[in-house]
Structure 1
Amino acid sequence: MRLSTVILPVRRWSEGGREVWQRAEELGFHAAYTYDHLSWRSFRDQPWFGALPTLTAAAAATSRLRLGTLVTSPNFRHPVTLAKELISLDDISGGRFTLGIGAGGNGFDATALGQEPWSPRERADRFGEFVPLLDRLLTEDVVSYEGAHYSADEVRNIPGCVQRPRLPFAVAATGPRGLKLAAKYGQAWVTTGDPKVSNGGGSSADSLEAVRGQCERLGKACAEIGRDAGDLEKIMLSGFTPDRPLDSVDAFVDFAGNHAALGFDELVLHWPIADSLFAADLDVFERIATEGLAQLGE
């Protein structure tokens, strides 16, 4: 199992932003991700910087750490412009970039461009075009496409990605249509658990059972297209289940062991931010980073 972190883009680069990403590399995290939002929940009226410029700066400030989004969505991205930026970021990072990608939700940036809120069906429809078109844009030198939601007219993306045939997709999905996209296009699958469990006051055991069901549905989606589900890595983005893995090293080991048993390859922990949903003791967090997986026996 690998251990990664999410560093929210809330710090000025000149006021501690750079150092956090460099510290993530020093601590040995496999990857450091960030949210690709214009704003997010309780941080809406606080500093919040752009994901792709932040990741570009992080690429220049580190040398081994993988970098990525968790997650990018169609809410305010277009596949054509996004592909060009991703190819550039993959080049600048020396092939260390992973695109976490999802259908998006109904948060603050879902209507930032002036559009009406999309229904769950419309988000799924757009995602169903977004992912295949982005796949083509990142693997073909010239792409033309005309769809219901997106178009591309002789778009050039030369020289393409450093990673071949393209940079990896980590597809966040729990519904049937999203799981099919993960099975077909993903190099990894991402889940945050089942919000019905957390929002409904469910237990850690309830959460594990719900995630087990998600894994089984992913396996079925892979089987339908003849893909071995074991070829698709499984990533758990923590912080949205009833568990509290950052309370102590022991709590982390329990959480990690339970999810390793479900076949997860990577756990992602939020870098602590004081006075927020992601508040945690930084010393405990760093001990988890350096000791946690060893205690798990990984």
Structure 2
Amino acid sequence: MNRNHNAWSDHDLERFIDDDLAPDARERLGEALRADASLRARLAAIIEADATIRAALLQAPTAGRTAPPSGVGRAGSLRRWGMGLAAAAAVALAAIGALRLRAGSKPDVSAPIAAAPEPDASTSLLAMARTEGILIASAPEGSARPRPARPEREPTPEEALLALLERDELSAALAMLQSQPSGAESDGLWAAFGRRLTSGRAAQEALLALPPERQIDACRAWAAHPSLRPATFEWLARLGASGDESVRRAVAALRLEMHARPELRPWLLSYAGASGPEPRQN
């Protein structure tokens, strides 16, 4: 397809390479490059010519720095260096003309465009972009700004807890839960822990490993999840019959808090006198 490659001048293509086009013009030229093999060939030729000039200019001073023959002064050395630089520039200009004439000829769209020689990383990047059908602009040397490395995000407490459970590190998970503040602010972690338990029996076994105040924290959080309510309210009833007065007071306060939630009232009544495994005492 070459319906619009002549709408863009070589100067436009050079500004595109140098990242010097306005954003809207850059976007339109990018779309044209994706759609037009002739335009891509012109862009490749310009980059190839730039690389040839750069290689010639980098090689010319090397000859100028060689030691002058005996009997030749500084002026002779400078003159030879200037002649060498002029010759290199002439070679480069001839290469530009040949490359741009080649780019102006009608390309064979049925064959893939050959990648340009790779004198530097920017040329090979563009060749790869043409092959894959995507557009990557080559920035001039020294203009690329390194992006600061993004610091890795610290996992949230819930993510850290779930990672421990994924590795079957139950003791470490329980230790983490016990290190959290007591009360409603830790409900999210207890709920995440409870959702990973496979049965009411597993829930009660987990509660057995906790001190009473943490058992109450777990019951508060698990009561919000219907699948955990049978084990939760059975255990809460047992805690309410504890011989420790401070535990009984904490259970009474939690039951009063739950009674304010209509969906939990039937559970409180059903398990008011339930029996179950003996809770752990301090």
**Band of TM-score, shorter chain:** under 0.3
TM-score by length of 1: 0.25
Greater helix share, 1 or 2? 2
Greater strand percent: which structure? Answer: 1
Q: TM-score, normalised on structure 2?
A: 0.26
Higher relative contact order, chain-length normalized (CA < 8 Å, sep 6+): 1
